[in-house]
Structure 1
Amino acid sequence: MPNDHITSNIRGNRIQSGLLIFGMACVVALIGYVLGGPLGFGLAIATCLAMAFLSPRVSPQLVLKMYKAQEIPRSSSPELIDLFAQLVQRAELPVSPKLYYIPSRTLNAFAVGSQRDSAVAITDGLLRILNPREVAGVLAHEVSHIRHKDMRVLGIADGVSRITGGLSQMGQLMLFLAVPSAMMNGGYMLLLVAILLISAPMINNLMQLALSRAREFNADLGAVALTGDAGGLASALTKLERATSGGGFPWIFAGRKTQTTPAMLRTHPPTDERVRRIIAAGESFLADQSVLPQLQHTPRPRQRLAPHDQNRVRKGPRWHVAGLWY
């Protein structure tokens, strides 16, 4: 069970997430008011509320198919399935997600779907370089994303950002058409409106990135609570930071430290900050509090998961028209 420190941090991250989404909605409402007065304000608020309740849900199977993922049968890797089942049981999810294997050397793990229909996928490359304790930390992180409904929260934020972008473009077009008459009557208010319309998408994008970083911290703390072991996840993040620091491909689980990308423009927090928080959160856990099984070897599924993919593990990611690496 989570200790007081972890519970307090998770609560703080949730409050931060709520404030960020509220801030994004306020930006949309402000643009709506500028473009349409009280009616535009009301429509903008109504659209944000509809987005919160009717946010589009991408089918987990569609995403997994794009990555050519295969469900891992228990006969292929019983240790890995047992470990995952124990984490799911501790998370008290209403429906148990399925675990998938991606035959790729890319270092990647992700969760998709909602609490009622979800899945976790992990690549061959990740299972090759992590030891069982580190694999447990990574899987717990992804299970925590499902437990905290992060995919839904980030989906709402993405929808609000898209609404902001659409209203901004429409407003800029209206502004362009109104320039001749506005210039004859003084253009100070027009200038303020132009600044708002141009800057609003950028402001919401920055808040969306901050929201993503907050949810990553939340999932890290949730993973420590599920495993009772801060060292496993911290070690995995450190190892993956070293493994990806010299490569050219992004990895969505650990934030990659670069000299050219400011922290505020990253979807993931810097790895050293994540490790610091993980270790601080896990200090009150004792070694014997971990409920993870003592695995004898890295639980990488056997190659024969599907006949057409046998012995065809890809060495790296490929580009897809949707911008996905798999």
Structure 2
Amino acid sequence: MFNAIRTTFLLAVMTGLFMAVGFVVAGSFGMFFALALALVTNLIAYWNSDKMVLRMQRARELSWRDSPDLFDMVEGLARRAGIPMPKLYLIQNKQPNAFATGRNPENAAVAVSSGLLNHLEYDEIGAVIAHEMAHIRSRDTLTMTITATFAGAISMLAQFGLFFGARNTNSPLGPVASIVMIVVAPLAALMVQMAVSRTREYEADKDGAQICGNPLALARALKKISKLAKNFENPFARRSPGMAHLFIINPLAGRGADNMFSTHPNVENRIAALLELSKQMQVEERQQSDIGRFLHHPQPKRGGWRTPNSHVSDRNQPKGPWG
């Protein structure tokens, strides 16, 4: 509840910043123009952001025949999360990572990298996907799209204001204060965007751990991904750093504690929260997660997932862990 209130407050701050920059640039007309611009840009983002992100990552949609084990896992986790089965995409990248996108649970997608499948254990992969399911269920994908769009639009308005020298005679701030605000507003918008992202990551960790049934599996996954992300580069995310907040771990391998400029919470803090949650859920390290307990066939060995293009002729073979 606290995180939901905090997210709503931060979004309200973002809207206020947007209107304030519009007012400084062009008075009352600028304020209403800013609102109209926000509406248009968010409508465009609402309908197209998922396609754009997947295309930028060169993600390829998978079917059950491409990777039956993975597909069955995602299908079962979606049932446990109480959401429709999202589309599943594969990113050919050695960096282990994953993200969710889509405007709502009915039009959602989960993308995992080949590095994630090669480096993580079965229950850890399930925990990562459960984390992404939590984002979808909470509609965080839409929230983060809105904040990113607002931040970009505020920066655009600020550049417009600087270009014209903030010559709005109707502004009560005066020319100097107006210019200062135009310079500071984009930075403030970025800080708000990062704060929203960190808030939603903590919430998705908690909800994802409850969906998969084992916070410790997610804690192990975060530790591994964080370490390996520094060894493998994601060139697509580097070209478009604005999408970094979508991933479960910063694909740009950012370091440091929680601060106003980080897209993700510090990994150690996230792991500590998951360890505390495991105590509340009375989950022990030796205890099998729900993924393991419901397993109907042997777990794929590390790196042993049936890779795309390995086809299976009979859909009626034994189902995966959630079947």
Q: 1:33 aligns with which of 23, 38, 43?
A: 23
Rounded to whole Å, the distance in 1 between the matches of 2:137 and 2:290 is 18
Q: 2:214 aligns with which of 223, 229, 251?
A: 229
**1:295-326 Cα deviation digits (max 9, x unpaired):** 5224854235289xxxxxxxxxxxxxxxxxxx
**Conserved 8 A contact 1:130-1:298:** no
Change over 3 Å in CA distance of 1:49–1:280 after alignment to 2: farther
Partner of 1:194 in structure 2? 179
Is 1:285 aligned to residue 281 of structure 2?
A: yes
Query: Secondary structure at the residue paired with 1:119?
Result: strand
**Conserved 8 A contact 2:62-2:308:** no
Partner of 1:303 in structure 2? 307
Larger Rg: 1
Shift of residue 137 of structure 1?
A: 0.8
Letter of the 1:103 partner, please give it.
Q
Is 1:254 aligned to residue 249 of structure 2?
A: yes
After TM superposition, list the pairs within 5 Å mapping 1:208-227 onto structure 2.
208-227=193-212
Partner of 1:148 in structure 2? 138
Letter of the 1:265 partner, please give it.
F
Partner of 2:271 in structure 1? 275
**1:171-209 Cα deviation digits (max 9, x unpaired):** 22332668xxx9xxxxx9321111111111111111111
Shift of residue 72 of structure 1?
A: 3.3
After TM superposition, list the pairs within 5 Å mapping 1:1-326 onto structure 2.
11-48=1-38, 55-58=45-48, 60-61=50-51, 63-93=53-83, 95-114=84-103, 115-175=105-165, 189-247=174-232, 249=234, 252-255=247-250, 256=253, 258=255, 263-287=259-283, 290-292=289-291, 293-294=294-295, 296-298=299-301, 300-305=304-309
Shift of residue 140 of structure 1?
A: 0.5
Query: Secondary structure at the residue paired with 1:151?
Result: helix
**1:69-100 Cα deviation digits (max 9, x unpaired):** 3433334443322221111011111x321222
Rounded to whole Å, the distance in 2 between the matches of 1:173 and 1:231 is 52
Change over 3 Å in CA distance of 1:306–1:170 after alignment to 2: farther
Report the aligned-residue RMSD: 3.1
Partner of 2:321 in structure 1? none
Letter of the 2:91 partner, please give it.
I
Shift of residue 226 of structure 1?
A: 0.6
Letter of the 1:171 partner, please give it.
G
Shift of residue 265 of structure 1?
A: 1.6
Change over 3 Å in CA distance of 1:281–1:37 after alignment to 2: same
* Structure 1 residue ranges without an equivalent (≥5): 1-10, 183-187, 308-326
Question: Among the aligned pairs, what percent are the same residue?
Answer: 28
Query: Secondary structure at the residue paired with 2:255?
Result: coil
Letter of the 1:88 partner, please give it.
A
* Structure 2 residue ranges without an equivalent (≥5): 239-243, 312-323
Change over 3 Å in CA distance of 1:176–1:149 after alignment to 2: closer
Q: Which moved more, 1:57-66 or 1:203-212?
A: 57-66
Shift of residue 157 of structure 1?
A: 1.0
Q: Alignment length, in residue pairs?
A: 288
**Conserved 8 A contact 1:140-1:223:** yes
Query: Secondary structure at the residue paired with 2:281?
Result: coil
Query: Secondary structure at the residue paired with 2:85?
Result: coil
Q: Which moved more, 1:272-281 or 1:60-69?
A: 60-69
Query: Secondary structure at the residue paired with 2:101?
Result: strand
